[in-house]
Amino acid sequence: MAELKYISGFGNECASEDPRCPGSLPEGQNNPQVCPYNLYAEQLSGSAFTCPRSTNKRSWLYRILPSVSHKPFESIDQGHVTHNWDEVGPDPNQLRWKPFEIPKPSQKKVDFVSGLHTLCGAGDIRSNNGLAVHIFLCNTSMENRCFYNSDGDFLIVPQKGKLLIYTEFGKMLVQPNEICVIQRGMRFSIDVFEETRGYILEVYGVHFELPDLGPIGANGLANPRDFLIPVAWYEDRQVPGGYTVINKYQGKLFAAKQLVSPFNVVAWHGNYTPYKYNLENFMVINSVAFDHADPSIFTVLTAKSVRPGVAIADFVIFPPRWGVADKTFRPPYYHRNCMSEFMGLIRGHYEAKQGGFLPGGGSLHSAMTPHGPDADCFEKASKAKLAPERIADGTMAFMFESSLNLAVTKWGLKTSNCLDENYYKCWEPLKSHFTPNSRKPAEFN
Ligand SMILES: [Fe+2]
């Protein structure tokens, strides 16, 4: 496949035409009486019409047929997609999952949509406030099927296998260690090339933004120009057997048939688009003297709540970096948090847990549930010589951190069969080193 082209920037006003149809974007207006090339004009609104300019999001699509050209939607099998947060009772324990198993294609062909599994979540879809964490486990490309989400935005974190994503705005190739965001309402279809796995953070009713930088200044963390937006690409393809449009609406799946590919947008302009980002481009900031900055310095994207500084969900990464802090216990500190912390591992070994937390697995530390380095990590880091050292080379762990209290689904706790019943044991060997009569560091045995 020829290398794909992208537009660079975050949240910009962009314009793109498929080069096969030069001049397909109307000049000077959005809604001509007749569009160039006799296309249909269609607006996709990602914010209320009346939002302030800084948060107002919409794009204009110029397409062969408008999206409304479809048969009625009908309810379909939900699979493992849910927004029922009361399937099982709450569980405050530290939870950890072994790598979620990908079905073998010889057993069952599963595409991205049929391979969606809701792991945990909170909030209310109907009032546009909340989130869900899904795991996708698939082995087959979506064939004459696309998906769109009426409930919220998908932040997709591939962990194994690359994703070729067809969208109404063009094509994106998203590989492990890259992420993409497909916002509410955007239709997409995913081709995969092997047994494929990844994580999805879905937020209802808000969009992801870059975090404010405060005293950090104008640059740093995820820089806007490293976000990549697809360029217009269309196919004028009839599908006599019917093309299936799958919609997640109020948490339920519906399907409608149409006779043409939905990727029939010849040109578009606007600031409401899908985008991708390579996590290698994250400019890491860290303590260069002593102690830890809180992990919020690793925030790539945030979906803000209405309360200042409090996120529905933050997407945070723990990238390769230098550890240089003097006189400091360098691994993550022991912690209890009013926020909920779901972690996943794209590759490598997470520094606070050398075993047990594996790529393709996950962990959930719920509100005020204690967590921190395992006993082995504590012992080693308490005695380590504090030279500058590389941390997390070849590793990419991430966190979805939320102000909501997450409920785990029945699939997460039982059906997936991946819950690690022994997780708590990693802290059992922690022992007291207290020496009431001496302030000097204890010698470890
Ligand atoms: Fe934490």
**Beta-bridge partner residues of 197:** 137, 160
pLDDT at 2: 77
**Torsion sign, CA atoms 275, 280, 281, 285:** positive
CA of 417 to the centre of ligand 1 (A): 25
CA of 280 to the centre of ligand 1 (A): 23
Q: What tokens appear for 65 in the block? A: 């047929």
Q: Give average pLDDT by consecutive 10-residue segment, the chain, 445 residues.
A: 92 98 98 98 98 97 98 98 96 97 96 98 97 98 98 98 98 98 98 98 97 96 98 97 97 98 98 98 96 96 96 97 96 96 95 80 97 93 95 96 98 97 94 92 63
- Residue owning tokens 């299936």: 244
Known binding residues: 335, 341, 350, 371
Kindly compute the dihedral angle of the four CA atoms of residues 179, 185, 189, 190, in this order, to the nearest 10 degrees.
20
pLDDT at 1: 67
122-125 long-range contacts (CB < 8 A, ≥24 apart) are: 122/85, 122/340, 122/402, 122/404, 122/405, 122/406, 122/407, 123/204, 123/312, 123/404, 124/204, 125/83, 125/151, 125/152, 125/204, 125/250, 125/251
Query: What angle (nearest 5°) sits at the alpha carbon of residue 333, between those of residues 332 and 335?
Result: 115
Q: Give the other-Cβ count within 10 Å of 181's Cβ.
A: 22
Contact between 420 and 346 (Cβ < 8 Å): no
User: Using DSSP, how many helices (H) and how many strands (E) does the chain show?
Assistant: 2, 28
What is the DSSP secondary-structure string of 344-407? EEEES--TT-SSS--TT-EEEE-TT--B---HHHHHHHHH-----EEESTT-EEEEEEESS-PE
CA of 362 to the centre of ligand 1 (A): 14
CA of 315 to the centre of ligand 1 (A): 14
Q: What tokens appear for 314 in the block? A: 């933050």
Known binding residues for Fe cation: 335, 341, 371
Active site members:
292
CA of 156 to the centre of ligand 1 (A): 22
Burial bucket for residue 89 (CB in 10 Å: 0-12, 13-18, 19+): exposed
pLDDT at 350: 81
Q: Which residues surround ligand 1, an ion (CB under 5 A)?
A: 335, 337, 341
pLDDT at 193: 98
pLDDT at 203: 98
Known binding residues for homogentisate: 350, 371
CA of 256 to the centre of ligand 1 (A): 43
Q: Is the pTM of this model over 0.95?
A: yes
CA of 351 to the centre of ligand 1 (A): 13
